Amino acid sequence: MIAKHIAMKSVKKSDFAGLVKYMTDEQEKCERVGWVSVTNCHSDRSDAGVLEIITTQEKNTRAESDKTFHLVVSFPAGEQPDEDILKAIETKLCDGLGYGEHQRVSVVHHDTDHLHIHIAVNKIHPTRYTLNDPYYSHKVLGKLCEKLEQEYGLTRVNHQPLKLGSENRANDMEHHAGVESLLSWIKRECLEQLQAATSWADLHRVLQENGLALKERGNGLVITAQDGLTVKASSVARELSKAKLENKFGAFEPESIRPGNANSPKNNYEARPVRSRIDTTLLFAQYKTEQQGMGAKRTKEWALAREHKIRLIEEAKRSAKLKRAATKLMGQSRDEKKLLYAMTSKAMRNQIEIINKQYRQERANIFKKYQPQQWADWLRRRATAGDQEALAALRARQLSQGLKANTVGAADGQLMKLGVNAAQDSITKKGTIIYRVGASAIRDDGGTLKVSKDATKDGMEAALRMAMERYGNKITVTGSIDFKAKIIQAAVTAKLPITFADASLEQHRHALLEKNNLTESNHESTQQRRPGTGSGVNVAGYKATTSAGFTGKPNLGRIGCDPPPESRNRLRNLSDVAVVRLASGTEVLLPGHVSDHLEQQGTQPNHPLRRPLSGERLASEENVATNKYIEERNQKRVLLTNILKHRLYSQSDVGEATFAGLRKVDNQTLALLKRSDEIVVVPIDETTVRKLNKLSLDDPVTLTQQGAIKTTKGRHR
């Protein structure tokens, strides 16, 4: 994390409203502006906050310096802190600078390869109206950044000042414009020769050979190029400062003018693109030609626009003059003519106002069209228009190091296509194309696709389709465990014919695909069957007794053939049926046929009808299959966080649950029941499978004390 104060050298250019307008301007991009925060103002709206801040600044009439503190907080490429962390960082930085009570507007920008926050702070205190300008703010910001990086686990960045201010400004210029600075060129071309000079004459000779001159300015020395660019000698190297050179060579001796061609330099500084991995000579020549003719084209179009405005105004005045002449010839009263003259004048003024408004808009468009651009901006504009050569030049810059975090790329590193069929949002100076898919953003640097942290299901699917179109069906996925789980889920849900290079991810994709296929087949079979009656199903596959006392058997006959339970065995027929008592103590009415294991005079216990709920209720084979499945699912939870914890059924699970599907492991069918945030695994037999196949996912069920799964779907008998 880097926090930098952007100082405004000219107080006249300081404009809080203009700064906030730049910060909140979408610039025809969907991905540029993130959250906007207004602090210590009466309104949460940025426009109302700006008016309040400007009013506060006007109450301080003594301050002559800039009343606005512009702070930019930038994060390394690929680092995307949460919104809560960003707000906490913004608050603590402002508090550390002494601006905790001051009014400010903060905006997050996503349109570059580095997430960054712009903070516009009012230096004027809202109640005391005094100006607060932090002393050596860069040192305070460095310490604050180190502390915040440790506190929130952010990427550690060196905050010790290793370069001078002029060197930092030169680096910023090269990063912004993409053109090598004079300072960097001198260091690369002749620094070693300057350090090896043994006298003032030798030093001047080296500078003359490279088209440079050493001159005194103020209390120091400056090096000047032929085009007028100047850099401090001490910025090139500390050994070239005036004090150290005079200690080495004596008092300063100015450059001596030599006659003839002795002064013709062998080398000369020219603004050229920074070092790149490809040759950009032809592109840069095209850029210079276009920039040189831009002023003439702008002047020509501007002149045409002025002539067109003047011609329209003259036509409006001529038309108004003809109307006045016609009014004069009309035989009407004085008051009527006066009214017509006023209407004609008002119409002419309105028409002239419309013409001037159109001219101002046309002039603004002309200046915007022919606005001088830096080399990097020109490349970005050409790349946005579809120039692949300009896009390759942007991506070949040394500053471009590839995307990180949640990315999707080619398994073998080869591209099938240069681009993808998707709407572009913008292009960064590193050549990263930003696509917008609903609420999600996808970034493409030419080698990988990066999905935004808050990507939706549609965004994940769009990223996979773009990856298939560009890289083929075999791709690699890097990033967090949660991102990998979402990518696998999106691939399975969309039924994409895609293969992951990572064996573990591919295994999870197959497992999830089989689960979805089984669920769909169960759902289809349920739709094809006639809805059955609700019944109690024992977890081990045995028939359970319903609350009415009758066994839950299928095929109970057509509706209307058999009387309902409350109409059977009425008192009038009590003498015709036999009464027996079961071991459980429940009385039931039996028809004339009695089972073989029962006698008319008594009952015998039939314990196999119920399976005890102790730990011995499962057979060894069932235990092996159940434990194997539970262990496998819990191991996958380490990689896929959307998998719930699995455990074996116990007596404490009696109560309501949700049906979560069926699984088959080693010829043993398992029922999955969801309770809270856990999956309860229960082994069942084929009879119970047929009963549970009538259910859909998330249907409610009830676990009874007898170990039965009581369903509520269908008609109860």
**690 burial class (0-12, 13-18, 19+ CB within 10 angstroms)?**
middle
Give the span between the Cα atoms of 682 and 398, in whole angstroms. 59
Query: How far is it between the farthest Cα atoms of the chain?
Result: 144
Amino acid residing at 542: Y
Which pLDDT does position 547 carry in this prediction?
Answer: 35
Quote the crossing angle between the two packed helices 16-24 and 46-58, to the nearest 10°. 160
Characterize the bridge pairing of strands 655-665 and 578-581: unpaired
User: How many residues in total does the chain contain?
Assistant: 717
Residue numbers of the chain with a pLDDT score lower than 50:
259-261, 418, 532-558, 575-589, 591, 593-605, 607-618, 715-717
First to last CA, the chain: 69
CA atoms within 13 Å, Cβ hemisphere of 430: 18
CB atoms within 10 A of CB 107: 22
* Cα separation, 653 vs 661, whole angstroms: 17
**Which residue from 597, 610, 709 is spatially nearest to 656, judged by alpha carbons?**
709
Taken in order of first residue, the domains within the chain and their CATH numbers are 2-152 (3.30.930.30), 181-270 (no CATH), 618-716 (2.40.50)
524: amino acid identity, one letter: E
CB 348 within 8 A of CB 388: no
Which pLDDT score, from 0 to 100, does residue 646 have?
Answer: 85
CB-CB neighbours of 532 under 10 Å = 18
C-alpha span between 678 and 321 (Å, rounded): 88
Give pLDDT, residue 608. Answer: 45
* DSSP state string for 492-529: HHTT---EESSHHHHHHHHHHHHHHHHHHHHHHHHHHS
Report pLDDT for 257: 62
Strand order in the sheet with 212-217: 212-217, 220-225, 230-232
Q: Which of 357, 379, 381, 353 shows the shortest CA–CA distance to 368?
A: 381
Which residues sit opposite 59 in a β-bridge?
A: none
Question: What is the structure's pLDDT at 68?
Answer: 93
Type of residue found at 615: G
- Residue 598 confidence (pLDDT): 46
